[in-house]
Amino acid sequence: MSEIINVHASLTATDSASPVIAGLLRNVRKLEAAVKSINGISASKLFPDSVSAGLQKITDEARKAASTYRTEWKSAYADSLRDARAFHRELDRLDRQTFNAPAG
């Protein structure tokens, strides 16, 4: 016994996202619009002159401090090398005196 059943179905769908995804998409589009509006604008137009001047002053001070540190470090390193070389010269001199001294 076999029966044949004919089924006719109608499927419908809606193209929509959950409220959370829809909100996220809106925020991404707002961010994209903001980035596009900023793109190509110079920093002087984005920041007031007082902020730009303050940032420039901080940057200049940081560069000066880094330069001073670099100079002092190089000087300390050179002094350390000089002292190490003098120490080893003295050790060599003492070795030569000890091993080259006449046996008596």
Q: What's the angle, vertex CA 62, arms to CA 59 and CA 65, rounded to 5?
A: 150
- The yes-or-no verdict on residue 98 having pLDDT over 80 is yes
pLDDT computed for residue 43 by the predictor: 60
Residue 49 has pLDDT above 90, yes or no: no
Indicate the pTM of the whole model. Answer: 0.42
- Label residues 41-63 b or e (16+ Cβ within 10 Å = b): eeeeeeeeeeeeeeeeeeeeeee
- DSSP type of residue 102: P
